[in-house]
Amino acid sequence: MKRQTRNHRNRVLSCVLIFVCLFILLTEWLCFQLNVFDVRKRFDFKNVFLTQNNELIKENINQKEDAKKNLDTFPKVTKLSLVMVGDALFHTALHEDGKTENGYDFKEMLSFMKPIISSYDLAFYNQESILGGSDLGLSSYPRFNSPYEVGDAFLDAGFNIVSLANNHTLDRGEEAILNSVSYWKKKGIMYHGSASSWDERNQVKVMEKNGIRYALLSYTDYTNDIPVPVEKEYLVNVYSEEQVKKDIESIRNQTDVILVAMHFGEEYSFEVTERQRQIAEFLSSQGVTIVIGHHPHVVEPVEMVGNTLVIYSLGNFISAQRGIERLTGLIYSVDIVKEENENGSRVYLENQKASLTYTYSEEMDGYRHNFKVYPYYKLTENLLPNWKDYYNQYMSIVLSNRQDIEKW
């Protein structure tokens, strides 16, 4: 009986063992079929991890590169170089000196100035004697009219900003003004101070260079008592606070830089008048960047009024007037800088420099000829005796309120 019991137990154990073995074999077969423990599957998991990790690394690198680009972009700084000279007042002697067989050519008179002027982005001058053209008949003091070739010479020298409002704008009437405006309109440069219609007068031109937007406004405080034609006040811009404010408001949001050419002051005086200061203060209060003064025919001081650079008088750039002081003019240059960052932008001035020019001519039998504008540093004792003394004298006037300006 005991033996039968033992045999039965052995059979049961064998069956259990067989069942376990079959279960293990079946499990392994299923696992193999499902690739649960496939080595290649485990390698794929690793690949997925590496791919995801690489993507994270790449994203981090891209973020760093974007940050670097932002550092490179802000602040973004752009510049415009500007040079300014004074009056082009063409008397008969200059007309005669520029006469050729086929008309007129004044380019040689500016040949020493051309390399200087053309090196700047922007170059300003005041066209004092109106360009009404030869057909209208050339004339000199007191009612000027000059040929178009004067403008050709200044454009050739590199000038691209021209003021047209001054006390001689009305000298030869409406026809001369319309001729002048027609001439400048074809040249594609910036000019202001005269217009041929109200529509044209009320559309202040804004131009852009090097990412900086700029505009010129031009006004005169005098007309030599010549009345402006009724309902044609667009022919010459006579200064008034109301009109200036209106003009500035029309372009305030369209421009970074506002230049105002202002024909004011007392002729042949080195002193700034109270009227000039009042106008300069008003223009500064309106956000004008630079006030460019002319009319006195001699140089006057330069100063800052608030954030506005004010050049009270540049003097004559070229004329046939007599006297060293009237043949000497100021040439003033500045860099206009626009700095942009994530919070907006600001405009400021730097690298301000001042020097002088001299209109040389020779005289024979009472006639003057061979007119030529020289930078003072090119003068010699033969051209202008004691020129260094004159330089120091007039520069001391210009810089009497600005000791920080570089002389050249």
| Domain assignments of the chain as residue spans, ordered by start | 2-72, 77-407
Per-residue pLDDT of the chain (408 residues; tens, 9 = 90+): 444 555 555 565 565 556 655 655 665 655 555 444 343 433 343 443 344 445 544 555 565 565 455 545 668 999 999 999 999 999 999 999 999 999 999 999 999 999 999 999 999 999 999 999 999 999 999 999 999 999 999 999 999 999 999 999 999 999 999 999 999 999 999 999 999 999 999 999 999 999 999 999 999 999 999 999 999 999 999 999 999 999 999 999 999 999 999 999 999 999 999 999 999 999 999 999 999 999 999 999 999 999 999 999 999 999 999 999 999 999 999 999 999 988 888 999 999 999 999 999 999 988 999 999 999 999 999 999 999 999 999 999 999 999 899 998
Q: What is the pLDDT of residue 73?
A: 61
Question: How many whole angstroms separate alpha carbon 65 and alpha carbon 244?
Answer: 48
DSSP classification of residue 273:
P
Question: How many whole angstroms separate alpha carbon 347 and alpha carbon 340?
Answer: 9
Write the secondary structure of 102-153 as one string of H (helix), E (strand) and C (coil).
CEECCHHHHCCCHHHHCCCCEEEEEECCCCCCHHHCCECCCCCECCCHHHHH
Nearest to 215 by CA among 159, 188, 255: 255
Q: In 10 A of CB 209, how many CB atoms?
A: 14
Q: What is the pLDDT of residue 45?
A: 35
DSSP classification of residue 315:
B
Q: State how far the alpha carbon of 230 is from the alpha carbons of 1, 174, 233, 235, 307, in Å.
A: 147, 12, 7, 10, 37
Q: Which long-range contacts (CB under 8 A, 24 or more apart) does 264-268 make?
A: 264/220, 264/221, 264/222, 264/239, 264/293, 264/295, 265/293, 265/295, 265/296, 265/300, 265/312, 265/313, 266/296, 267/295, 267/296, 267/297, 268/296, 268/297, 268/298, 268/325, 268/326
Q: What is the pLDDT of residue 14?
A: 61
Residue 16 tokens read as: 């259990």
Residue 182 tokens read as: 């027609």
Residue 394 tokens read as: 């007039």
Question: How many whole angstroms separate alpha carbon 174 and alpha carbon 374?
Answer: 35
Nearest to 406 by CA among 355, 349, 346: 355
In this prediction the pTM is 0.82
Class of domain 77-407: alpha beta
Q: In 10 A of CB 175, how many CB atoms?
A: 13
Residue 144 tokens read as: 């000027």
Q: What is the pLDDT of residue 20?
A: 56
Report phi then psi at 302, rounded to 5. Answer: -115, 140
